[in-house]
Structure 1
Amino acid sequence: MYKHPRQKTEAYTLPPFEASSVGKLRYIPAHNSLKRSAHEDTSGSCVTDDFNDKIKELETVMMGPDSLDLVFDYNDSFDSTSCQETNSWRSTLEAISRRDLRADLVSCAQALSENDLMMAHSMMEKLRQMVSVSGEPIQRLGAYLLEGLVAKLASSGSSIYKSLNRFPEPASTELLSYMHILYEVCPYFKFGYMSANGAIAEAMKEENRVHIIDFQIGTQGSQWVTLIQAFAARPGGPPRIRITGIDDTTSAYARGGGLSIVGNRLAKLAKQFNVPFEFNSVSVSASEVKLKDLGVRAGEALAVNFAFVLHRMPDESVSTKNHRDRLLRMVKSLSPKVVTLVEQESNTNTASFFPRFKETMDYYDAMFESIDVTLPRNHKQRINVEQHCLARDVVNIIACEGADRVERHELLGKWRSRFEMAGFSSYPLSPLVNSTIKSLLRNYSDKYRLEERDGALYLGWMQRDLVASCAWK
């Protein structure tokens, strides 16, 4: 799930591939458009011509030509045995064609995981006719899953993911607008911010000087608006607040400038509510943060916030530096009063390709369904929201490996082990946090659910947990 802008990657398209010989692939440019799903009904739709043009434009630059242009070299090595194998393969395809889109996506990923390139190619050709960026949730998600599969098939997912630039990065103001839409239509980010703020407010209720270190401050520092207001209303007056915001160039791009924009906004708000305030900016990637960057001062009660950021830190499976655990040990050495963790409840870090694909499809299927309830399919910006705020994560998880795969989610059980190994103990969330979030969810679909388990809060869509929040000391 897209949190706020992170690394700036080039926009991607779905490249076709041709086989110069069976089992060998060569990248060829994409030019034409994807066929819209034959099952998609646009009759009686209030979709405007501009919206239809947008769909056609996106599908043209994203999905490539009408077929995968799979050209096999029928040379002397292609004998009767090959023909028999091909007939068997076609029979399998006919059987598969009677299954649904989810099953076809899984079958394609399985063929790819088993290095069955002929089957994977043909499944992709079939899937191109089934997915649509303007269709049902699984059709829309399927378009991006298919894109990731094609890049993975090229055995160079990372280079393709980085190099393709057929659909330009939106202007910073546009990207900020897309993120704001997603923030408003889904409660996931508000849930995370509210639960973390509740834990911080509870831990700091007796403190007069508070220092908050945010390891990935949002594009506008939105999380801290409500906390500053809450501190302003505290009996006995507000504490003196200092916020250290850690950021990278991608977030700076999204908001159209550096951290000074966030600092100025929060300072103006604090002045309005008569809250003593100071902002400290650290313009580096969270994985590169050193103790000297944090500016910890004696006499300040320290809170550390990890909201949707730790899953992007390389761990022991990627680098011997293991920034994920290194950061936790460094933070523990500062003796904070409270540390908040908000993460997606998904398991994609060390999983091999095929189970990782299935997990990604299951997770984002729930996400796309939840968007569908609130944001109409004919909403002009919905495609942009999904493409720029979610699809990049999907493609990265599926197509990339090693250090290039930056979206590496873990389940809360694994995070719990990491925090405990670093010396932390659980900090129970206040019942007030639970009741406040329940009030928030009344503004959304009743398919959202909130559960408290083992001192942590889980926000889910129907039966799928999507975001987990907890606190540590």
Structure 2
Amino acid sequence: MSHKVAITSMSAKASERTYRCSDDSQMAYYNNSVPLAENGRFYMMQNQLDAHYTSSGDGSQKISSNPQIFEAQYCTLESSSANGTYPTQSSTSSHSISPISGSPLSQHDSYSYHTYDSPPTVSCVTEIPDLQSKLKELENAILGPELDIASDSPESLLQANNPLKQDDWRQLLGINTGDLKQVIIACGKAVAENDIYTQVLISELGQLVSVSGDPMQRLGAYILEGLVARLSFTGSRLYKSLKCKEPTSSELMSYMHLLCEICPFYKFGYMSANGAIAEAIKGENLIHIIDFQIAQGSQWITIIQALAARPGGPPRLRITGIDDSNSAYARGGGLDMVGTKLHNVSASYGLPFEFNAVHAASHEVYLQHLDIRPGEVIVVNFAYQLHHTPDESVSMENHRDRIVRMVKSLSPKVVTLVEQESNTNTPFFPRYLETLDYYTAMFESIDVALPRDDKRRISTEQHCVARDIVNLIACEGAERVERHEVFGKWKTRFAMAGFRPYPLSSVVNNTIKTLLNSYHSCYRLEERDGVLFLGWKSRVLVVSSAWC
């Protein structure tokens, strides 16, 4: 395919573009301040950059911030359709970004997802041997051939016009050959800084990862997909493509259910929350549990059994299940399926039961949806949910704090909070490093549970874990729904809403210890002031707390 060069002029101010999603949320910022390595060999490659770069005090090379009009060089693909092009990151370097071939990121679809402040162009590309086939192989492994939504263009996002040999640039960037973690970190840093070596680094990453390899190789495969999606501004579509598939009639459980079985994180959260709830509702006869993400509803089966066994007869139980349509992929059906399941279990134990289905995302819930009735004791459950609720960094309405305050206005007997202990509600690069650290521990814990070539394990990781990683890395604004916070931040939010801690009892602690006996010895459980922390080795992964 032939290429042609188009020269365009713009001011430095105009070159800093804001890319926005279809819902007008901020997608990403890129500017032309591209930090370079401390080596003059960069200038040997691109002497046309000299006029626009100055030396900083620390010896590094940066683009001059002087707001003078300059010429930015772009390349366009003659075969690109009008809506099949992408904006390049404004730079005088020809090392820019082009659509990816073999990636689940379609040119024409992606353009309709975003609006831009200036006319889009696409970048120059040259061939990197075997990279296109490597990415195609990786995409097929992650999404499957049936989910291929690849670009029509044969060019790859990761192809770069770079004269240095691999050993040269590895030495130049201080990267050890074969050190996968170091390459992953370097890729994230390059993307964050719009470095001219981004494509070469991601190319190297593509040679080191595998969805069936060791934990770091598997994690690296999904991080690679996230980076590619981010560079192509199509992270949201890839995230949506990675939803858990509905189980077929021959499958006994969904991928999410399998994940719950091989890792204790979810059982830990549900069991610790149920322990606090069981203690709080002792002796109560009208109980209303509000579950902000009811999932499959299995959490409540043990509560139903315990209430039905009460001396003197069972109380009346009402459960309000809140969930949007996305969760149907994980459980294999809608909220009606959950209600029927819980009705049948309650009937089998002789427990009076009522189910109230709220088909809405958490940030769409208001008091009128909850059908609060006089005389009921209210219990609220936030299990792995609140981090999905938009906060002040996403919306001026700050639904995260609004929901917590609304729940406090109900005067609940107890509120349970279970969340991943991860600080990903942050700018890109700190979030990238935190994602790498957190999911390294998670993939290591999965590695001891099932063989690496186990097809169930690969499917579970691909369809239920990868989509979170892609969302964390590729998406911004309202489209980034994975926004974890550490317990200290949750504690502050609940305290500001008027809550006080409801310490989990020693009975709950002992129950969780018994649970962990059936898992690997590297799992760690710690209790601090009535709050339970579950971790893998030295990394805390999940925190369970209760409030009143």
TM-score w.r.t. length of structure 2: 0.72
CA contact (8 A) 2:141 2:211 kept: no
CA contact (8 A) 1:137 1:372 kept: yes
2:134 aligned to which of 12, 19, 34: 34
Deviation at 1:184, TM superposition (A): 0.7
Deviations along 1:33-63, whole A, 9 cap, x unmatched?
A: 42899xxxxxxxxxxxxxxx96896799699
What's 1:377 paired with?
Answer: 452
What's 1:24 paired with?
Answer: 96
Letter in 2 for 1:381: R
Tell me, yes or no, if structure 1 residue 215 matches structure 2 residue 316: no
Query: Pairwise mapping of residues 281-430 of structure 1 onto structure 2 (< 5 A)?
Result: 281-349=357-425, 351-430=426-505
Deviations along 1:421-442, whole A, 9 cap, x unmatched?
A: 0111111111110001111111
Deviation at 1:89, TM superposition (A): 7.0
What's 2:179 paired with?
Answer: 100
Which range is displaced more, 231-240 or 188-197? 231-240
1:144 aligned to which of 210, 222, 226: 222
Q: Which runs of 5+ in 1 are unaligned?
A: 1-16, 38-52, 75-82
1:178 aligned to which of 252, 255, 259: 255
Mark the CA change 1:184 to 1:177 in structure 2 (over 3 Å): closer, same or farther. Answer: same
2:519 aligned to which of 419, 424, 444: 444
What's 1:268 paired with?
Answer: 344
Tell me, yes or no, if structure 1 residue 230 matches structure 2 residue 306: yes
Query: CA–CA distance in 1 between the matches of 2:402 and 2:543?
Result: 22
Deviations along 1:281-336, whole A, 9 cap, x unmatched?
A: 11111110110110111111100000011000000011001000000111111110
Deviation at 1:71, TM superposition (A): 4.7
2:159 aligned to which of 56, 64, 70: 70
Which range is displaced more, 463-472 or 376-385? 376-385
What's 1:114 paired with?
Answer: 193
1:243 aligned to which of 319, 323, 330: 319
Mark the CA change 1:258 to 1:35 in structure 2 (over 3 Å): closer, same or farther. Answer: closer
Query: CA–CA distance in 2 between the matches of 1:429 and 1:348?
Result: 26
What's 1:49 paired with?
Answer: none
Query: CA–CA distance in 1 between the matches of 2:541 and 2:361?
Result: 25
Query: CA–CA distance in 1 between the matches of 2:158 and 2:533?
Result: 45
What's 2:267 paired with?
Answer: 190
What's 1:80 paired with?
Answer: none
Secondary structure of 1:279 counterpart: strand
Deviation at 1:204, TM superposition (A): 0.4
Larger radius of gyration: 2
Secondary structure of 2:482 counterpart: coil
CA contact (8 A) 2:387 2:483 kept: yes
Q: Percent identity?
A: 58
Query: CA–CA distance in 1 between the matches of 2:329 and 2:135?
Result: 34
Deviation at 1:263, TM superposition (A): 1.0
Mark the CA change 1:259 to 1:67 in structure 2 (over 3 Å): closer, same or farther. Answer: closer
Secondary structure of 2:381 counterpart: strand
Query: CA–CA distance in 2 between the matches of 1:63 and 1:34?
Result: 14
TM-score w.r.t. length of structure 1: 0.83
Deviation at 1:69, TM superposition (A): 5.6
Query: CA–CA distance in 2 between the matches of 1:59 and 1:98?
Result: 35
Secondary structure of 1:410 counterpart: coil
Query: CA–CA distance in 2 between the matches of 1:127 and 1:470?
Result: 39
Deviation at 1:257, TM superposition (A): 3.1
1:202 aligned to which of 276, 279, 288: 279
Query: CA–CA distance in 1 between the matches of 2:145 and 2:540?
Result: 31
Q: Which runs of 5+ in 2 are unaligned?
A: 1-85, 104-131
Query: CA–CA distance in 2 between the matches of 1:67 and 1:89?
Result: 22
Mark the CA change 1:140 to 1:111 in structure 2 (over 3 Å): closer, same or farther. Answer: same
Secondary structure of 2:467 counterpart: helix
Higher helix share: 1
Letter in 2 for 1:435: N
Deviation at 1:149, TM superposition (A): 1.6
CA contact (8 A) 2:95 2:160 kept: no
